Amino acid sequence: MLYGKKNGLKTTILAISLALAAVTAGTQDAYAERKLIKVDGSSTVFPITEAVAEEFQIEKRGKVMVTVGISGTGGGFKKFCRGESDVSDASRPIKPTEVELCRKNGIEYIELPVAYDGLAVMVNTKNEWVDYLTVKELKKIWEPGAQRKLTGWSQIRPGWPERQIHLFGPGVDSGSFDYFTKAIVGKEGASRGDFTASEDDNVLVQGIATDPYALGFFGLAYYEFNKDKLKLVPIDDENDANGKGPILPSLATVNNGTYQPLSRPIFIYVSKNSAAKPEVEEFVSFYLENAPGLTQEVGYIPLPDEAYGLAIKKFENRTVGTVFGGKGSKTGVKIEELLR
């Protein structure tokens, strides 16, 4: 009897093992059949792309998997121009060095705007002295010559506390860093280096939220998700001939162009080779068709309908290259005018 029981147990274990192996093999086959789309790049564009990817994967019922990384705009372009990703999220236009890297590796790209963003300047909620900042003051704070020289709040404006200022901002691989320095300092990448930098905007949120003497900047959507922890600073563009005074970034002020010079379009870049794959073509088409609604859901500003229509036509025609002439960011520009 004992021998029979042992044999019966062995048979049961064998049956279970075979069944599990069959399930595992079936699962592996299912995963092998799934099409993979690789996206990487800007942490600013990430919330939009993540939202689109989630909805797209639901629609495709597990047949397509979309991975979305956050290497920063610069880091994303390095991978993209080496052929390591299908789509690159970018919070600024492609740079000449990146254009050359793509050309060298035979990567043709389709440049597609997906939303507007306002770069938000923020301080800690305990900061009671900053009611607004001018573009000139921001330049004074962030220009390269300020490093180890402008270190206190009282050096920015008389009457402000004689306390050390602690700065937070995106890292040098970030498109937000490039755009901010171009718009404020006048030259892309020109900045003091003595600030806390991160490609992850959530790290910057945490830094400003826990430091009463902090000041920093990043995409408006990350403020919207953390508005209870941060204080948004209105910006006064003294170069504006209309003299509008300090303006807060919002859906309305970014869309109508009054929040200057820190309003900008943000993009995805699609490899022309990848666009030949049905799953990538479907994903990008889905992205452009659903961007207006999903963009607003995650705290960004939709482009005008005309701009989305022109972008869809550009993708359908597989029109490669950049409307920025490969020269990087331009401030105060309306994307639909460039797309026309």
Q: What is the mean pLDDT of residues 302-325?
A: 93
Tell me, yes or no, whether 210 lies in a domain.
Answer: yes
Same domain for 258 and 209 = yes
Answer yes or no: do 240 and 225 share one domain.
Answer: yes
247, 134: one domain: yes
Residue whose C-alpha is closest to residue 178's, from 77, 267, 92: 92
Statement to judge: residues 97 and 197 lie in one domain: no
Pick the last residue of a domain from 263, 292, 326.
Answer: 263
Residue 24 included in any domain:
no
Assess whether 130 and 205 both reside in one domain. Answer: yes
Tell which of 217, 233, 263 closes a domain: 263
* Residues 99, 141 within the same domain: no
Pick from 208, 250, 211, 212: which is nearest to 230 by CA?
A: 208
Residue 64 has pLDDT above 50, yes or no: yes
- Name the H helices within the chain: 2-33, 46-60, 72-81, 96-104, 135-142, 175-180, 201-209, 220-224, 251-255, 272-275, 278-297, 305-316, 335-339
Residues 220 and 334 in one domain: no
Q: Cis bond leading into 261, ω under 30°?
A: yes
Cα angle 112, 117, 122 (rounded to 5 degrees) comes to 150
- CATH number (domain holding residue 319): 3.40.190.10
Please indicate, yes or no, if residue 89 is contained in any of the structural domains: yes
Q: Model confidence at 9, in pLDDT bands (50, 70, 90)? A: very low
Print the domain residue range for 122. Answer: 118-263
Would residue 128 count as lying in a domain?
yes
Q: For residues 243 and 152, state if they share a domain.
A: yes
* 165 in the same domain as 57: no
Per-residue pLDDT tens for 158-194?
A: 999 999 999 999 998 888 999 999 999 999 999 999 9
pTM of the model: 0.79
In a domain, 1, yes or no: no
193 occurs within a structural domain: yes
Give the C-alpha distances (Å, rounded to integers) separating 306 from 113, 310, 315, 335. Answer: 12, 6, 14, 10
Q: How many domains does one find in the chain?
A: 2
Q: What is the pLDDT of residues 14-43, one digit of tens each?
A: 444 554 544 444 444 444 578 999 999 999
In a domain, 7, yes or no: no
Does residue 253 lie in a domain region?
A: yes
**CA distances to 68, 92, 236, 294 from 197, in Å:** 22, 18, 25, 28
